[in-house]
Amino acid sequence: MTGTKFCKSCGTTGSPSASFCRECGAALTEEPSVDQSASNAKEQVNGGIVLYQQGDYPGALSKFEKAIEADPTLAAAWSDKGCALGRLGKRDAALEAFNKALEIDRDNREAREGKDLCLRMVNSSQEAS
């Protein structure tokens, strides 16, 4: 066994060799619960936001992608990914991320505004050509 084990009762992580939770005594599993995956996704988003605010767009993008791996239904992660991609000049990929966020949550204001900004930038660059 090489990976961390998880307690589905209380959320505690355990060592790969452990069989029972040190906190509540429940049996440990190799897969985190859905709640733990969602929590991990939100932690990744928060870390990505910090990096984004510091101007580390590649680092932020990596965090947002990890959040999406943990919870592909987290609209905020998709929207934030779109923002990071936009800052990196990857407008088409940013539009895809914003569209995915809007598929999940059609009322996501950040995704709507990001998509609109990307579309304006694409249109203005095409007009300048």
46-62 residue pLDDT tens? 999 999 999 999 999 99
pLDDT above 90 covers a percentage of the chain that reads: 53
pLDDT above 70 covers a percentage of the chain that reads: 84
Same domain membership, residue 79 and residue 20: no
Buried b (16+ CB within 10 A) or exposed e, 43-54: ebbebbbebbee
Same domain membership, residue 95 and residue 50: yes
For residue 20, the 8-state DSSP code is B
Same domain membership, residue 115 and residue 53: yes
* Helix, strand, coil abundance in the chain, percent, nearest 5: 65, 5, 30
Residue ranges making up the domain that contains 101: 34-128
Same domain membership, residue 82 and residue 23: no
Same domain membership, residue 18 and residue 40: no
Domain count, the chain: 2
Same domain membership, residue 56 and residue 2: no
pLDDT(119) > 80: yes
In angstroms, the Cα distances linking 105 to 27, 41, 109, 111, 123 are 36, 17, 9, 9, 25
Same domain membership, residue 40 and residue 27: no
Same domain membership, residue 62 and residue 8: no
Kindly indicate the confidence band of residue 17, based on its pLDDT and cuts at 50, 70 and 90.
confident
Check residue 99 and give its pLDDT.
Answer: 96
